[in-house]
Amino acid sequence: MILKAALVNSALLLAAGSSAQITNVKQAFYTLQSWYNPGSGIWDGDGWWNGANAFTVVAELALAAQTKNDSSILQSATNIFANTWIVGPSSNGNIPQQSGGNYDSSNATAWGGPAYDDNGWWALAWIAAYDATKNDTYLQLAQGMFDDLVTDAWGTRCGNGGVYWNSDHSYVNAITNELFLSIAAHLANRVSDNSSYYISWAEKEWNWFATSGMINENNTINDGLTDPCTNNGQTAWSYNQGVVLGGLVELNKASPNQSYIDSANTIAQAAIKLLADSNNIIHETCESSGDCFPNATQFKGIFMRNLLLLQQASPNDLYAKVIQSCAQSIWANDRDNTTNQLSINWAGPFVSPANSSTHSSAMDALVAAIYL
């Protein structure tokens, strides 16, 4: 009887949660769009790479809403993608600005630059836009961006594998390598006539990464490597525990091997142990000092987006609980109830001012919860 009651309760909770969540996330989307700047193609207050992540959450929401037979977001999203396609490169501070804005948006260099992680975020953003629209133009751009990473970034002094963070070819860090893995693995599942090419790059990256030293004794991932190529002990940011999960899930889909899922589960569980509070709310270490400026405001959402991919491939009550708890707490405790803006600390209270980075990051959790 207890079991039956529990089942009924959780079924009710899920049913009630689902319809409420899609309504809430749509409200959050309208708020996000109050920052979208049609002239810059990104969201006011966002840096270039944050823009790629706000763009990605719009694409992910368009897809999630479709599963609820709601295509209104996809219509808006399609217009956002088309506009950002045209004007977005004018906001890329990495490239020379052209007067008149005559960029060739299909040329990968319009989106990348000396910071290779920026290249990586935009490649994943356009893959997400491709997933939502099935427009091949976006997938081809992502392929071009991956080609540039192979040419410009691959082959570090650390074992002659992996990619550098930027064109100085000095720092070898986790995020750029995780992005490289994730892009290759995503392309392997989408570029059917060249799947084996992308699988081999994803495998090469993962084999290098797994033994690079970035994964520490607790199975969490530090920021990067020292000059002599050992773990540098710098902050285990939430996004460093996230992007790798999506990469491994996609690689397992393209070239099944249980060890990829096992590794993803090990990292995800270690990350939750490190980052979640006793109510299963994820925090960034910088929150306690109040100083996440300007990049770390984005990270937690990236973790949630990728934890969802793992939950879909390898369901686990813990992951579902973390995603649900974060989404519910954000809406209940971390929201300005007049503007629906979402702020930095997902446990609350709302910290003013919120901005397009804190808001889009929190939206990632709301979007992930739509699937649960």
Ligand X SMILES: *[C@@H]1O[C@H](CO)[C@@H](O)[C@H](O)[C@H]1NC(C)=O
DSSP bridge partners of 221: 215
Decide if 339 contacts 355 (C-beta within 8 A). no
What is the identity of the amino acid at 177?
N
Closest contact distance (angstroms) between CB of 343 and ligand X is 6
- Please state, in angstroms and rounded to a whole number, the distance separating the CA atoms of residues 129 and 145: 15
CA 307, 313, 316 angle in degrees (round to 5)? Answer: 65
- Please state, in angstroms and rounded to a whole number, the distance separating the CA atoms of residues 258 and 107: 37
- Please state, in angstroms and rounded to a whole number, the distance separating the CA atoms of residues 21 and 99: 43
CB closer to ligand X, 109 vs 316: 109
Closest contact distance (angstroms) between CB of 11 and ligand X is 15
Closest contact distance (angstroms) between CB of 270 and ligand X is 9
CB closer to ligand X, 2 vs 289: 289
Assign 3-class secondary structure to 46-84.
CCHHHHHHHHHHHHHHHHHHHCCCCCHHHHHHHHHHHHH
Closest contact distance (angstroms) between CB of 315 and ligand X is 19
CB closer to ligand X, 6 vs 82: 82
CB closer to ligand X, 217 vs 317: 217
Closest contact distance (angstroms) between CB of 109 and ligand X is 4
Quickly list H helices, 88-166: 116-133, 136-153
CB closer to ligand X, 6 vs 11: 11
CB closer to ligand X, 6 vs 170: 170
Give Cα 337 distance to the centre of its chain. Answer: 26
Closest contact distance (angstroms) between CB of 207 and ligand X is 6
Instruction: Dig out the tokens for 42 from the structure.
Output: 């990104």
Residue nearest to ligand X as judged by C-beta position: 293
Closest contact distance (angstroms) between CB of 46 and ligand X is 7
CB closer to ligand X, 107 vs 280: 107
DSSP string for 160-218: T-SB-SBTT----BHHHHHHHHHHHHHHHTT-GGGHHHHHHHHHHHHHHHHTSS-B-TT
- Please state, in angstroms and rounded to a whole number, the distance separating the CA atoms of residues 138 and 62: 16
Residues engaged in binding ligand X (CB under 6 A): 45, 47, 49, 68-69, 82, 85, 104, 107, 109, 115, 117-118, 135, 137, 147, 193-194, 197, 207, 216-218, 257, 259, 292-295, 297, 337, 344, 351, 355, 357-358
Closest contact distance (angstroms) between CB of 311 and ligand X is 19
CB closer to ligand X, 29 vs 130: 130
